[in-house]
Amino acid sequence: MSEYLLCLFLFCIGLYCVLRKRNIIKIIIGLGIIEYAVNLFFVLVGYRIHGRAPILAKEQKILNMVDPLPQALVLTAIVIGLAVTALIVAIAIRIYEKYGTFDITKIRRLRG
Amino acid sequence: MILPFFVIIPLACAFLISLLGKLNKRISDIFANLGTFTLLILSLSAIRYQLFAKVIVYRVGGWPPPIGISMVLDGLSSFILMSVNLVSFLVCLYSVSYMNKYTDKYRFHSLFMLMLAGMNGVIVTGDLFNLFVFLEIASISSYALVAFGTEAEELEASFKYAIMGSVASSFILLGIALLYSYTSTLNMADMGSVLLSRGNSLLVNFISVLFLMGFGLKAALVPFHAWLPDAHPSAPASISAMLSGVLIKVLGVYALMRIYFNILGINNIILSIFMFLGAASMLVGVILALGQWDFKRLLAYHSISQIGYIILGIGLGSPLGILAGLFHLFNHSIFKSLLFLNSGAVAYRLGTRDLQDMGGLKERMPTTANTNLVASLSIAGIPPFNGFFSKFLIIVACIQSRQIIYGICAVIASILTLASFMKVQKYAFFGKLNKKWQDIKEVPGIMQLSMVVLAVLCLVSALLITPLFKPYLESAVNVLLLGRGYNKAVFGALK
């Protein structure tokens, strides 16, 4: 149970970071923390104590195995997260070129 | 089997365009237009398939569901596929000329096809995690497309959109993880039946709140709407037409409908939340739109307001309400993309989006002015055009379900919409011609063609409610009314 609560705690740290920080690089890091928290939670869902990998071999019986599906899904989610982070970092670099600052309160040309 | 081609064709086009686009300027135009045209033909033939055999299921890789990934075509998917592919074909035609003012046109087409692949994937998939993957494909390419001009404002809008969109995606993924741990399946039909047999629990309520946050942000419902008025105007006009016309509906409204009606099961609390959010979006969107002087920003606020109508209609939960909501969804994708294409045409010749700077453009750009008049009348709900019928049906459905207050809200929002579009007509197209624009010309022929086709569709799609075409609309409504019977429909089609 405590593992799940820690995941939730990590998620909240990430959310706080996205909502409250003024530096856009820190916001991107906060986004990364949120993604890790969700991925960690997803892996934990499929975990069993003393479980082993479900590899089917001759003359072996697997009694207690870890659910492999969440691991495969998390692998996909990590790749998606990588793509998002790469894109946002690229945009952040361009923003720095245009505005000369990373401070989100000074990047305000859109209003209304 | 036509189902996988809805994803394969745009993906292959995106790949080929990014590979060969550098060689010749024309290649990317040809590939993109051929691709979207084929998709339009395919979605037309999907209607025929779907009318014969109510539900079609395709097994990806030959694995039978619920173990393998499946793709499902039913009334609702075929209806939404039709509106997406129709709009994307016309927008792609328009961008042949329009995108010439940008460099690296082939990258634009490549991203455009990738976004289309994501949207078509979301519509046809029958697997919840697969839906998430396609949703992210469509979202990531739309973040990149918003920043396509790489000016300061565009980058800022794209950054805002990307951060909010990614947080929403994380909420959706968390919801999927919880749902998987509760039902130990990912197939949407199977999930629905497992949840039905387990009964309602606190966890399911928590999951529905997570999905409401995630997909509500993608659909720009009112408390989650802050990114839309920045992101949609900043994109190139053809992309604004795609984003406002179809993307928010596929990623937001369609996913919400599919998940709440067919998987989690609908109840009165969720319906009343939908109705409240719909009415709030409707009023807030239109009131914020009244004060705008930037043409595209005004249209973006109207997108929020019109999404409110759709959600209100669906939230009524009665057959007539859902029918009206889906009908409005189709109509809105037509007239809103036309309005954004008009704003692009004005910006193409004038280089400005400020309404106060325009004036009297009717003399110089007659096609743009007339098509814009048609679209404005449709969105404001003036009788012969499609917007009137769907709005009228929504109001009738409100009265029928004894939600008089929401009906009055819909009427007020409609009047304010009319006022706001009278402003657009007065300042941009009627009145005296501004001296600066003495020698401007009408936009190139191919842009005019796609605008005229959309304007004609504004009139023709009102026929969708006539008895001849109504069964098509009703087959989409029936999928939602079926609720968790979706499971039987999907697994019945496999036998």
pLDDT in tens, B258-299: 999 999 988 899 999 999 999 999 999 999 999 889 999 999
**B170 to chain A: which residues are within 8 Å by CB?**
34-35, 38
| Whether A38 and B292 lie within 8 Å, measured CB to CB | no
| Whether B156 and A41 lie within 8 Å, measured CB to CB | no
Residues from A contacting B (CB-CB < 8 Å) are 11, 15, 18, 24, 27, 31, 34-35, 38, 41-42, 45, 69-70, 73, 76-77, 80, 83-84, 87-88, 91-92, 94-95, 98-99, 107-110, 112
The pTM of this model reads 0.94
CATH topology of domain A2-99: Helix Hairpins (1.10.287)
Check residue B64 and give its pLDDT. 84
Which residue type is seen at B366? P
ipTM: 0.95
Q: What percent of chain B has pLDDT over 90?
A: 66
**B157 to chain A: which residues are within 8 Å by CB?**
110
B7: confidence class by pLDDT, cuts 50, 70, 90: very high
pLDDT in tens, A13-33: 999 999 999 999 999 999 999
Check residue B429 and give its pLDDT. 86
Residue A3 above 70 pLDDT?
Answer: yes
Check residue A51 and give its pLDDT. 82
Q: What does pLDDT average to over chain B?
A: 91
pLDDT in tens, B370-424: 999 999 999 998 888 999 999 999 999 999 999 899 999 999 999 999 999 999 8
d(CA B487, CA B490): 5
Residues 285-304 of chain B whose Cβ lies under 8 A from any Cβ of chain A: 288, 291-292, 294, 297
Q: What is the mean pLDDT of residues A97-102?
A: 91
pLDDT in tens, B79-108: 999 999 999 999 999 999 898 888 888 999
Q: Which of B161, B173, B302 to mutate to test the interface with A (most CBs of A within 10 A)?
A: B173
B49: confidence class by pLDDT, cuts 50, 70, 90: confident
pLDDT in tens, B104-115: 889 999 999 999
Least confident range of B40-44, B56-60, B251-255, B323-327 = B56-60
Nearest chain A residue (CA) to B233: A110
Q: What does pLDDT average to over chain A?
A: 89
Residue B473 above 70 pLDDT?
Answer: yes
Q: What is the mean pLDDT of residues B42-71?
A: 86
* Min Cα–Cα distance to chain A from B94, Å: 27
Residue B152 above 60 pLDDT?
Answer: yes
Residue B190 above 60 pLDDT?
Answer: yes
**B186 to chain A: which residues are within 8 Å by CB?**
69
The residue ranges of every structural domain in chain A are 2-99
